[in-house]
Amino acid sequence: MSSIAAAWRRLPWWVEPVSVVIVLSVFGLYSFAIVSFLPGEYKEYLSPFYSPPIPHPDWMPDFITAPMFIIWMPLGFRATCYYYRKAYYRAFFWDPPACQAGAQEREPRKAENYRGERAVFVLNNVHRYFLYASFVVLAFLWYDTVLTFFPGGSFGVKVGSIIWLANVVLLSTYSLSCHSLRHIIGGNKDCYTCVRGGNTRRKLYNGVSRLNLQHPQWAWFSLFSVLLTDIYFRLIQAGVIPDLTILG
Ligand code: FES
């Protein structure tokens, strides 16, 4: 892994912002297409974009689909994430495009002109509320994970259930490594022995801090896992690949 990171650092500075633009654009367009036009419920699985499944009210126009009531939570969580903010400010706005010498000179807006985050970016200040909302969605995803191990009502393990489980583990790890969570759990305390449950909070804080060190990796791994899980289930549904049974 470290040799991959070292090789990545040797690439020209513009490779990272261009890669971020491509990956986030593909993810954004794919998510929009899934929740707008495509079905999300299969024989045994749900699309991860459709959990929890909710009914579409009759009075609601058809162009507003039921998963749109859900997807704003995980998407808002990612869009306001401290790491993604750094990534897309650099990639989309070149603000600055990279740290390397030379790249900063290409920054279109100079640092002395910075006036804080305005307009839609003001939402970045409510990241912790998107965190709370995302934990609600995660709880449903874990419930759906259990269901994937009971196809037809009895216990069984398929490749699809393992993929769903891996996806939810990565999403949970991404959420648990959040900077805001680290602050809420213990980063906002100067003295653990002065607060109730201080020892437990200190241990939780240390655990979140360990995960937090790799937050960028969890951000990308969990993003790719959502995409791949959805694509895998669509291939099963289309009959392109079988969902192999491991147990049951
Ligand atoms: S800082 Fe990235 S999810 Fe909170």
* The two structure tokens encoding residue 68: 């749109």
Burial of 101 (0-12, 13-18, 19+ CB in 10 A): exposed
**Chain centroid, CA 188 distance in Å:** 24
Q: Where are the domains of the chain?
A: 10-177+214-247
How far is residue 22's CA from residue 26's CA, in Å, rounded to a whole number? 6
pLDDT of residue 104: 67
pLDDT at position 55 is 87
CA 182–ligand 1 middle distance (angstroms): 10
Measuring from atom 2 of ligand 1, which residue has the nearest CA?
A: 81
- Per-residue confidence (pLDDT) for residue 29, from 0 to 100: 95
> To test the ligand 1 pocket, which listed residue (88, 129, 178) has its Cβ within 8 A of the most ligand atoms?
178
Q: What does the pLDDT read at residue 101? A: 62
Which residues of the chain register pLDDT less than 50? none
pTM: 0.89
Whose CA is closest to atom 4 on ligand 1?
178
Residue 94 has a pLDDT of: 84
Taking CB atoms and a 6 Å cutoff, what residues make up the pocket around ligand 1? Answer: 81-83, 127, 178-180, 215
Per-residue model confidence (pLDDT) at position 192: 87
Give the separation between CA 107 and CA 103, rounded to whole angstroms.
7
